[in-house]
Chains A and B, each alone.
Chain A
Amino acid sequence: MSTDVLKPGRAAQPRAARPGARRPLPKPVLGLAGVLGFLLIWELVPRVGLVQPRFLPPASEVIIALARDFGLTAFWVAVGHTLMAWAIGLAAAVVAAGLLGLVIGMSPFLRRFTNSTIEFLRPVPSVALIPLAVLLFGVKIESSLMLIIYACFWQVLIQVLYGVADVDNVATQTAQSYGFSKLQRIRHVVFPTVLPYLMTGIRLAASVALILAITAELIIGSPGLGREIADAQSGGAISGMYALVLATGLLGVAINVVMRQVEQRLLSWHPSVRGEVVL
């Protein structure tokens, strides 16, 4: 959990060791108890009649519906559509923003030149592009991609710009006096500094990409889990809808876990991941 918090200004601060690591009951046991408690409350609320079961089916029904979904090809096809839009969009945004970020970040002129435009375009919500995407691409996967790429591009670009600005002056000058070529400098000085920032950007962008993939499917109707949810809702398959909502949540958790693992692998050399107290 500690890896997911954005510190203002600085993205990849070294994290201190957790204070008070020993606790009476082991954490996984308590966590499991929390999940079970949540499911129990969810089971009881409709059963007791606080909310009508036709609006909120009990947890057991939804879990059974989810288990049934797991056996259906249509469900996995929908998951595949969502994940494909997610992966292509994320990859395109990361490549574009990474390259552009390096180019802009390494030139003080370009940084000043583009600053106002970036600050203006960044807060524009990507959902504002939904009508345009519908007009241009209809219900095809391209409309999801357009929203995903737009939203993720800024997340990654900003982090890369921060990262390039953070490159140590002494290191740059040392590389220069040792006669490093421009490419060598990017490879051996800039890149290692930028990488932690880039990974933070990619991790944030990964969850943003999922949000927009689902949004596009829900609103525009491009194929995927989001459209299945909309269909289930309008078709009155309420437990089925809740099961799909649960499935998107699990997908989100899976993406978070995988991205954190990748980040830790790639940055195992970095102090923020080595977990030493650097101060």
Chain B
Amino acid sequence: MRILKSVAYVVALPLLLVLLWWASTRGEPNFFVPTPAALVDVFGPTWFEGRITGDVLPSVGRLLAGLAIAIILGIVVGLLVGLNRTLRALTEPVFEFFRALPPPVLVPVLILLVGLNDGMKVAVIVVGCIWPVLLNTIEGVRSIDPVQNETTRSYGISGLNRIRYQVLPSAAPTIMAGIRQSLSIGLILMVISEMFGSSSGLGFTILQFQRSFAIPEMWSGILVLGLIGLALSLIFQWCERRVLRWYHGLKEVENAA
């Protein structure tokens, strides 16, 4: 009974919204909004006949490559800068500027510097996504409990061991928060880089549908993007729970006390 009730809570509102959508498009056809049936009809043929391997997978691949490079680079540079007080003060204003720079303006810049190719699209994602990771890593390293630092020092733990067993774990919650921010930026940049002078990819395809007034197809593209966003966020939540299991456990104990 209880399971039934929670299932009802999960599906009730979405069902209601779909019903509302169906009811409001049932009468005279609206040019901008297709009926649910039309969208379902169009979804399969539009995406599963070639576009998924031709456009969707390459887009997602570029996104993942860009994110991976940005995360690794961000953590490595963040550790280097965060552990050195002088370096931190030296770089702070410049990094703050780059963080405040809206990432989409990098697209025209990188088109100039890299050219119109896959490398540019990955570079846009890397350059846009690195700042939240980098700055959060610096902040995470900076705000490590000083007692912990002194303890590792007096136990003679230094170098890579210190980073592996003390610095990275205590900065991990902050780093993960940065990664979460960069995920949504990465998705935005994936779409934008393809809308700007490109001839393939998800962003280009959706814009093409709009330009040719293929309205149900355009909506199905919006749906695909939404599903990719949802999948990314679910995968991230799963990873975060695994990486930060100790942290969430600690929080629960603290909150219960």
Contacts and interface: CB of A to CB of B under 8 A. Distances in A.
Interface stretch (B47-55, B116-124, B160-168, B176-184): B176-184
B195 A219 contact: yes
Interface stretch (A89-97, A113-121, A175-183): A113-121
A71 interface: no
A261 to B, nearest CB: 15
A211 B226 CA distance: 19
B55 to A, nearest CB: 14
Interface string A16-55: 1001100101010011111101100000000000010001
A8 B12 contact: no
Nearest to B115: A55
A214 B12 contact: no
Given A136-B32, A226-B105, A249-B97, A211 B9 contact: no
Q: Is the interface of A mostly helix, strand, loop or mixed?
A: helix
B59 interface: no
A2 to B, nearest CB: 6
Interface residues of A, number: 71
A27 B100 CA distance: 20
A37 B99 CA distance: 18
B184 A123 contact: yes
B93 A35 contact: yes
Given A126-B188, A135-B32, A233-B112, A5 B177 contact: yes
B105 A245 contact: yes
Given A8-B176, A113-B9, A128 B226 contact: yes
B89 interface: yes
A32 B92 CA distance: 10
Assign chain B's interface to a size class. 35 or more
A55 B102 contact: no
B29 to A, nearest CB: 15
A1 to B, nearest CB: 6
A233 B111 contact: yes
B216 to A, nearest CB: 12
A131 B229 contact: no
A62 to B, nearest CB: 11
Interface string A201-215: 000000100110111
A190 to B, nearest CB: 20
Interface stretch (A73-81, A251-259, A270-278): A251-259
Interface string B80-91: 000001100111
A116 B109 CA distance: 39
B125 interface: no
B251 A9 contact: yes
Contact of B90 (A9, A33, A128, A242): A33
Contacts of B239: none
B196 interface: yes
A222 interface: no
B210 A135 contact: yes
B139 A5 contact: yes
B11 interface: yes
A129 B219 CA distance: 9
Contact of B94 (A16, A35, A114): A35
B206 A218 contact: no
Contacts of A207: 100
B24 interface: no
A266 interface: no
Nearest to A23: B85
Contact of B100 (A5, A56, A230, A249): A249
Contact of A211 (B139, B188, B203, B210): B188
A114 B13 contact: yes
A156 interface: no
A132 B222 contact: yes
Contacts of A83: none
A87 interface: no
B143 A128 contact: no
A25 B86 contact: yes
**Nearest 4 A/B pairs, CB to CB:** A252-B100, A131-B210, A123-B229, A30-B89
Interface of B: 9-14, 17, 32, 85-86, 89-94, 96-109, 111-113, 135-136, 139-140, 142-143, 146, 173-174, 176-178, 180-181, 184-185, 187-188, 191-192, 195-196, 203, 206-207, 209-210, 215, 218-219, 221-222, 225-226, 229-230, 232-233, 240, 244, 247-248, 251
24 contacts: A1-B92, A2-B139, A6-B180, A23-B86, A23-B89, A33-B90, A55-B113, A113-B12, A114-B13, A116-B14, A117-B13, A117-B17, A124-B226, A125-B184, A125-B226, A127-B192, A127-B225, A128-B191, A130-B207, A131-B222, A132-B219, A215-B192, A233-B108, A248-B105
Given A123-B233, A131-B207, 8 more contacts: A6-B136, A23-B85, A38-B94, A117-B17, A124-B222, A131-B222, A229-B105, A252-B101
